[in-house]
Chains A and B, each alone.
Chain A
Amino acid sequence: MNQRKAVLPMSARYLINAALCLALILGLKGLSASGLLSDYFTKILILVGINIILAVSLNVATGYLGQLPLGHAGFMAVGAYTGGIFLKSVNAAAMSGAPLVLTIAAAILLSGAVAALFGVIIGVPALRLKGDYLAIITLGFGEIIRVVITNIDSVLGFDFTYGASGLKRIPKFTGALNVFLCVVMTCLVIHMVMKSRHGRSILSIRENEIAAESCGVNTTFYKVMAFTMSAFFAGVAGCLYAGNLGSLQPGGFGFMKSIEILVMVVLGGMGSMLGSVVSATVLTILPEALRSFDRYRMVVYSAALILMMIFKPSGLFGDYDFSLSRILEKLGVGKKPAGKEDAR
């Protein structure tokens, strides 16, 4: 057993990934500057990015934690309305330069935080119970949020969500670049958490709850943590969504939206971030490419789900995750560790 794999040092791995992100950002900037990126294409890129964030964040609760939330669109709605109302009330439309950037960042974080707060409020009672209560409770939450937003058009005389007529004239701040940054940050933060003691505790609950508890893992705490993290990024996606459309209708955050996100996660492979990214991308572009297909989308989704459950229940990618460094290591880049062979 002297055949040791080549290993890249951690710092080199981070450098490679940072360089890759920078290259993508510069590429994106270059493309939009040269006018090669049409408005239509930019719109699709933005939608893809928002859906990636939604899928990757839902994957935390389904793939990593092993729960089945059915109200992800509810958290998205909370984030969207929080961001929209915040941006309108600080009059972001009149800003420019650094204050605008800061305001946008604040709006995104605030949207995530408020969605996360809802995550805690729903998660604590639902996740303390053993069993699949979360599915039912989040299902209810998703619907309740939509109905509440529709009906509290004003609070104490202040205009609030504008109810069914919709929240309009939200500053349209969302562009391909800031969506891309949010996608990278979302994936990065989730990755960092999952490769830590916190992430391992979350995974252990999915794998075997009783064993996790016997190992001293405070399962309720980590369940709520994962669920809250999932809600946070759904809120972020909601804020970007609000800044993309410029107006919000409560109807857009229904049960079907939650299911659409869930389909992305399941098709991609529960527990695979790469799977969520790929299937969110494909399932966003496909209906755009095949306009006439839109009518049959839900039918095709259900059919695809059933086929997937029959032939590859673990999803497209199982729980495989992409790692550039690992591929480089396979190719033999990096030095062989000189570590002692003390296994015997």
Chain B
Amino acid sequence: MKRYNENTRLVPVPSTSVIPDRDVGKLPILECRHLGIDFGGLTAVSDFNLTIGRTEIAGLIGPNGAGKTTVFNLLTKVYQPTRGIIMLDGVDTAGMTTAQVNHAGIARTFQNIRLFSRLSVMDNVLIGLQDSMSYSLPAAILRLPSYWKQEKVARERALELLSIFDMADLADHEAGSLPYGAQRRLEIVRALGTNPSLLLLDEPAAGMNPSETAELMENIVKIRDTFQIAVMLIEHDMSLVMNICEGICVLNFGKVIAKGTAADIQNNPDVIEAYLGKRKEGE
């Protein structure tokens, strides 16, 4: 792990981010500066600074209500930030809508699963893949060759993506009828369909049993390796976070209290007090 190369910064702001060696010297995929949001009087997130390398797996952890999901909602513009800048692949996302941010390269999953539950598994992935198709409305109505060609390619791609999680044979099932774990995996597949450069996973292992979690862990690494994208995940399962995350950011009461590698975090007294310490008290 090295400190992030200052020469490639777009605006010189001191950063304490650690990014993997292989990403050093390249333009970071995501850079947040002094990001913050208030809900009425409540400051949910404040002064959030983070840099993520192009192929990094980053972790965002913190106690319940720390503001982790809010950070994802800020990055994807579900909420407009009150303060701060988000640079995605060197482009400022200010003023973009959620859909535009997705086109620019951020895809996400949701803590409380948001599938298109009455549609088939295939349709869910195809909606993720809809930007890969460009046929016009008349072409759809008249079923012109462009319709058939692009639909065929998209369907094949969908099956390919589903097979990452061995789900290709579930393509005709209704998404809402899948077991919980499969629904979480389908959300990841759907997000991958949008061809992201940064994948945000909000508690991907929630509700999974240990063997499912272990498999998920392998798959997240596999996705990063095959697609060469960055992944940022929120997770309460410490073994998952400590095992696969190269950089970890700890949030408490909307503020970053620590950043670093798994080893740094585990030994950080602030983290132990705010997070792990609290847990022990509760038990």
- Which of chain B's residues have a CB closer than 8 A to the CB of A192? 140-143
Alpha-carbon separation in the docked complex, A216 to B103 (Å): 6
- Which of chain B's residues have a CB closer than 8 A to the CB of A213? 78, 97-99, 102
- Which of chain A's residues have a CB closer than 8 A to the CB of B115? 207-208, 211
| Stretch of B56-64, B121-129, B209-217, B238-246 contacting A (4+ beta carbons < 8 Å) | B121-129
Q: What is the minimal beta-carbon distance from B29 to any residue of chain A, in angstroms?
A: 17
Proximity bits, B267-279, A CB within 8 Å = 1, else 0: 0000000000000
Alpha-carbon separation in the docked complex, A200 to B137 (Å): 12
- Which of chain B's residues have a CB closer than 8 A to the CB of A212? 116, 127
Alpha-carbon separation in the docked complex, A36 to B261 (Å): 85
Interface of A, helix, strand, loop or mixed by DSSP: helix
Proximity bits, A188-226, B CB within 8 Å = 1, else 0: 010011001111110110011011111111110000010
Select one of A196, A218, A319 contacting B140, CB under 8 A.
A196
- Which of chain A's residues have a CB closer than 8 A to the CB of B151? 196-197
Select one of B76, B108, B163, B194 contacting A342, CB under 8 A.
B163
Q: What is the minimal beta-carbon distance from B204 to any residue of chain A, in angstroms?
A: 15
Q: What is the minimal beta-carbon distance from A323 to any residue of chain B, in angstroms?
A: 14
Alpha-carbon separation in the docked complex, A185 to B114 (Å): 35
- Which of chain B's residues have a CB closer than 8 A to the CB of A319? 118
A1 interface hit (Cβ, 8 Å): yes
A338 interface hit (Cβ, 8 Å): no
A344 interface hit (Cβ, 8 Å): yes
A343 interface hit (Cβ, 8 Å): yes
- Which of chain A's residues have a CB closer than 8 A to the CB of B118? 207, 319
Q: What is the minimal beta-carbon distance from A237 to any residue of chain B, in angstroms?
A: 19
Alpha-carbon separation in the docked complex, A203 to B98 (Å): 18
B92 interface hit (Cβ, 8 Å): no
A200-B127, A215-B130, A342-B168 as given contacts; A210 in contact with B119, CB under 8 Å = no
Q: Are A203 and B141 in contact (CB under 8 A)?
A: no
Q: Are B126 and A197 in contact (CB under 8 A)?
A: yes
Q: Which residues of B contact A (CB under 8 A)?
A: 76, 78, 97-99, 102-103, 107-108, 110, 114-119, 123, 126-128, 130-131, 133, 135, 137, 140-143, 147, 151, 163, 166, 168-169, 190-191, 193-194
Interface contacts beyond A193-B140, A204-B119, A216-B102: sample of 7 additional A-B pairs, CB < 8 Å, sorted by A: A196-B147, A197-B133, A204-B127, A215-B102, A215-B130, A225-B137, A343-B163
Q: Which 8 A-B pairs have the closest CB atoms?
A: A196-B140, A207-B116, A216-B102, A213-B98, A211-B114, A343-B169, A343-B168, A208-B114
